[in-house]
């Protein structure tokens, strides 16, 4: 199942997207979907890393060296 959404783009971005669509014969929706699917995992990873950093800064989590992690996994 697919869902529909609306976004606002700066004029320059919209013009570039429109030009790309016209040159390639693909729809703007195709390129928007491609961009989201290509980058959403990176954005999710960044969010998780930022949240982990905040937890460490608040003292809710601690950092462990890779050496300690591997040592603990072996035991």
Contact criterion met (CB below 8 Å) for 48 and 55: no
User: Left if phi > 0, otherwise alpha if psi is -120 to 50, otherwise beta: which for 59?
Assistant: left
In the chain, % of residues over pLDDT 90: 89
pTM of structure: 0.65
CA distance 49 to 55: 10
Q: Which residue is listed with tokens 């050496």?
A: 67
pLDDT digits (tens, 9 = 90+) for 27-51: 999 999 999 999 999 999 999 999 9
Q: Which residue is listed with tokens 């992690």?
A: 69
């Amino acid at each position: 199942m697919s869902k529909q959404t609306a976004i606002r783009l700066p004029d320059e971005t919209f013009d570039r997207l429109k030009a790309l669509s016209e040159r390639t014969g693909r729809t703007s929706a195709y390129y928007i979907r491609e961009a989201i699917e290509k980058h959403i995992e990176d954005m999710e990873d960044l969010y998780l890393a930022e949240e982990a950093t905040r937890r460490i800064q608040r003292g809710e989590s601690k950092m462990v060296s890779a050496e300690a992690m591997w040592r603990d996994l072996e035991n």
